[in-house]
Amino acid sequence: MKFAAHRVPGLVVVAAAILLGVTLGSPAATLTLLPDADTMLSEYFPENNFGAMPFANSGSTRMLTRNRALFRFDVAGHLPAGARIRSASLILEVVGQPAEPFASGRFNLHRLLKPWGEGTKTNAPGGGAGQGSPATTGEATWTHRFAFTTNTWTSPGAAATNDFVAEPSSGVTVFGVDQSPYTIPSADRLVADLQLWLDQPATNFGWILVCEHEGTPFTARRFGTREDPLNAPRLEIEYDLPVRIDSVQRAGTQTTLSFLVEPGWVYTVEFANGLPPGGWQSLAHISPASQPLRVSVTDFTPAPQRFYRLVRRMP
- Domain positions in the chain are 3-21+243-313, 29-240
| 3-class SS of residue 185 | coil
Q: What is the pLDDT of residue 18?
A: 26
- Please determine, looking at this structure, whether the domain spanning 3-21+243-313 carries the CATH number 2.60.40: yes
**Contact at 8 Å (CB) between 200 and 192?**
no
The Cα–Cα gap between 267 and 315 comes to 9
Determine the distance from the C-alpha atom of residue 160 to the mean position of all C-alpha atoms in its chain, rounded to a whole number: 20
Order of strands across the sheet that contains 247-251: 247-251, 254-261, 293-299
Residue 263 confidence (pLDDT)? 82
Model pLDDT, residue 208 = 98
The structure's pTM equals: 0.78
- Nearest CA to 145 out of 103, 115, 174, 190 is that of 115
- CB of 173 within 8 A of CB of 102? no
Compute the distance between CA of residue 277 and CA of residue 298 in angstroms, rounded to an integer: 20
Cis peptide before 181 (omega within 30 of 0): yes
pLDDT given at position 261: 86
Q: What is the pLDDT of residue 271?
A: 87
* Contact yes or no for 60/219 (Cβ under 8 A): yes
Could you state, in chain order, the average pLDDT of each consecutive group of 10 residues for the chain (315 residues)?
A: 34 35 60 98 97 97 96 96 91 92 94 98 78 96 98 98 98 96 98 97 98 95 97 96 83 87 87 76 90 89 79 81
Please, is 256 exposed, middle or buried when counting C-beta atoms within 10 Å of its C-beta (0-12, 13-18, 19+)? middle
User: So what's the pLDDT on residue 1?
Assistant: 28
* pLDDT at res. 58: 98
Cβ contact 85:33 at 8 Å: no
Amino acid 27: pLDDT = 55
